[in-house]
Structures are given as C-alpha cells and as structure tokens.
C-alpha cells in the first residue's frame, strides 16, 4: 500500500503518562529524598529514566567524585547520578 492509499485516520494514540516514570520510583524517591539531599555534594533528587530506559531515581551532584556515596539502587529502583551546577528553587 503506498502512502497515497493509506486510510485518512491512521492516528496513533498518544498518552503522555506513558512517558512518565512509574509511581513506584516516585514513591521511593519521596521516602529517601531527605536522606539523599543530606549527603555531601547532592544538589537535587528527581525521577527519570536509567540508561536502558527503566524508571530511576536521579541524584544530581556538584562533582562526579561524589558519586561513590550514592547507592546503585534504593528499594529495587535503579539510581543514576548526573553532575550539575547548584539548583535553586524559584
């Protein structure tokens, strides 16, 4: 079938929620956020995707050398680190 012969309605449903991390990662982040923010060099904590697309807790650091203090997983949820400058709330 050529492009000119495609049916008019070939839309694909888009569900932005599918791109959002699962509630489990958010729940674990909430339970451990204060503890993580108390570690030296941690500037923020969020939820995102790990290197293979799985849900993950993201810990933002001032310097990569501080990554050794961050656990690889928390309650079975992968933890990834990202070096960033200081984060300021507005």
Structural domains in the chain, CATH included, are 21-83 (3.30.300.50)
Condensed to tens digits (0 to 9), the pLDDT of residues 7-20 reads 555 555 555 555 55
pLDDT surpassing 80 at residue 62: yes
pLDDT band at 23 (very low <50, low <70, confident <90, very high): confident
Q: For residue 24, which phi and psi values (nearest 5 degrees)?
A: -60, -45
**Comparing C-alpha atoms, which of 86, 67, 51 is closest to residue 59?**
67
Integer Cα distance of 39 and 24 in angstroms: 23
């Amino acid at each position: 079938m050529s492009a000119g012969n495609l049916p008019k309605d070939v839309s694909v449903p888009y569900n932005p929620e599918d791109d959002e991390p699962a509630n489990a990662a958010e729940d674990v982040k909430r339970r451990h956020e204060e503890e993580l923010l108390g570690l030296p060099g941690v500037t923020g904590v969020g939820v995102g995707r790990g290197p293979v697309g799985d849900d993950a807790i993201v810990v933002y650091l001032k310097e990569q050398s501080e990554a050794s203090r961050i656990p690889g997983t928390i309650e079975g949820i992968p933890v990834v680190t990202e070096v960033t400058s200081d984060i300021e709330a507005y």
